[in-house]
Amino acid sequence: MHELSLCQAILETVGQRATGRPVRRVDVRIGYLRQVVPDSLQFSWEMLTQGTELEGCALAIEHVPAVVCCRECGAETTLSWPVLACSECESHNVELVSGDELQLASFDLVGGDR
Amino acid sequence: MGRFHRHADGTEHEHDDHEHEHDHRDVGDHSGYVETGPSRVAVLESILSENDRVAERNRADLDRNGVWAVNLMSSPGAGKTTLLKRTLVALGEKCRVGVLEGDIATSLDADQLSGLGAAISLVNTSAGFGGECHLDAVMVRSGLSRLPLDAIDLLLIENVGNLVCPAEFDVGAHARAMVYAVTEGEEKPLKYPVMFRSVDVVLVNKVDLLPHLDFDLDRFFTHLQDVNPDVRVIEVSAQTGQGVDEWCAWLGAAGR
């Protein structure tokens, strides 16, 4: 439900930093532990960019898996549900390595090589 | 929506931009940010960084005035407003309280809290289509401007009833609390882990109803521990007043 606000924030930052240069693609990284619905983010993006200078600009969403590292046994676990626990020794004494991201990674300008 | 279009403090914002451009002038990118390739501009910032900057300003204003603030969240109907009423009565003269009341529309909740000695600021979030589902730092900033911060010790921010979105937005409070009602089911921590993981304390409300419910409190606690092992739990009943003293003691201890 807050995907619209997230898109608004992305647009604001990209708008400021592109300083008028046309943008063709925006890359964001969203962690598994964030409750962001990708389809909803895409839908919001299309709605908010329509009729603006960013119309047609792609929003590329990278999903970052949630990974924890166990402080007891050192094993790394990729979580399949939101319980922060080690799959090897079942300890809850784990450190979150990734999965918490809500990041605007980069944007691509029109006319570049990529 | 459109919250990030408004800048609570235009002057400071301009200053930030200027500083940034100046610092990075030697990089050669006229936007002031590092180019990693011929066309790609790296940002590598939280999507909510603008919100977070405003949240820091809110916190600084609160600190300057000696105000300690709690962001109180829950699903709709969990009992935030009733518990707040109890809290205001229990705190009485012990400390000067302000309430920032976030609601999609209407002043119904704010009206319920008036006359209990607290300064109240209402923030309706319905500026966009249908109403924003959470408070963000800019909305709270506007609410703060209508409160006498120098005459308040404790600020209770009642967020919009919603178990998803409010958890994502730092509003500038010092702590986060949530009200969870035992009528909501034991699995909620697993279904809404962002919220349950984000809070310092969970007020387990409506415990007076437990004898009438098929609700396994231990099972709920297990799920809660699974997503937030360090969280403090206080069992309360906003209806009977059970646990309200413990909650007020937590507020007092955490705020000092």
Arithmetic mean of pLDDT, A44-51: 94
Nearest to B180 by CA among B212, B215, B155, B211: B215
> What pLDDT does residue B98 have?
96
Radius of gyration of chain B (CA): 20
Q: What is the ipTM of this complex?
A: 0.88
For residue B9, is pLDDT > 90? Answer: no
> What pLDDT does residue B35 have?
54
> What pLDDT does residue B57 have?
98
Residue A102 lies in a domain: yes
Nearest to B41 by CA among A23, A15, A108: A108
For residue B87, is pLDDT > 60? Answer: yes
> What pLDDT does residue B93 have?
83
DSSP output for B97-155? EEEEEEESS-SHHHHHHTTSS-EEEEEE-TTSSS--SS--HHHHHHHHTTS-GGG-SEE
Averaged pLDDT score across all residues of chain A: 92
Q: Is A30 within 8 Å of A63 (Cβ atoms)?
A: yes
Residue A35 lies in a domain: yes
Of residues A2, A33, A107, nearest to B41 (C-beta): A107
Q: In this complex, do B47 and A10 lie within 8 Å of one another by their Cβ atoms?
A: yes
The number of distinct structural domains making up chain A is 1
pLDDT tier at B3, thresholds 50, 70, 90: very low
Q: Which residue of B has its CA nearest to A4?
A: B1
Using an 8 Å CB-CB cutoff, list residues of chain A that contact chain B. Answer: 1-2, 4-6, 8-10, 12-14, 16-19, 21, 28, 33-35, 81-85, 92, 102-114
pLDDT tier at B107, thresholds 50, 70, 90: confident
> What pLDDT does residue B92 have?
86
Arithmetic mean of pLDDT, B184-202: 95
Arithmetic mean of pLDDT, A21-29: 96
Of residues B4, B45, B165, nearest to A2 (C-beta): B165
Candidates A11, A33, A35, partner chain B, best to mutate (most B CBs within 10 A): A35
Tell me whether strands A76-78 and A67-70 are parallel, antiparallel or unpaired: antiparallel
Min distance B25 CA to chain A CA atoms (Å): 14
Per-residue model confidence as pLDDT tens digits over B229-251 = 899 999 999 999 999 999 999 99
Of residues B45, B128, B225, nearest to A103 (C-beta): B45
For residue B108, is pLDDT > 70? Answer: yes
> What pLDDT does residue B63 have?
97
Three-point CA angle B246, B249, B251, nearest 5°: 115
> What pLDDT does residue B17 have?
36
Per-residue model confidence as pLDDT tens digits over B163-189 = 998 999 999 999 999 999 999 999 999
Q: In this complex, do B169 and A2 lie within 8 Å of one another by their Cβ atoms?
A: yes
Is B126 in the A-facing interface, judged by CB distances under 8 Å? no
Q: In this complex, do B44 and A107 lie within 8 Å of one another by their Cβ atoms?
A: no
Q: In this complex, do B165 and A1 lie within 8 Å of one another by their Cβ atoms?
A: yes
For residue A42, is pLDDT > 90? Answer: yes
For residue B18, is pLDDT > 50? Answer: no
| Tokens of residue B246, six digits | 């413990």
Arithmetic mean of pLDDT, B85-99: 92
Domain that holds residue A77: 3-109
> What pLDDT does residue B36 have?
57
Residue A19 lies in a domain: yes
**B157 vs B105, residue with greater confidence:** B157
**B11 vs B59, residue with greater confidence:** B59
| Tokens of residue B215, six digits | 């609700």
Residue A11 lies in a domain: yes
**pTM over the 0.90 mark:** no
For residue B224, is pLDDT > 90? Answer: yes
**Residue A95, domain CATH:** 3.30.2320.80
Element (H, E) at B251: helix B244-255
Residue A114 lies in a domain: no
CA dist., res. B24 & res. A97, Å (int):
30
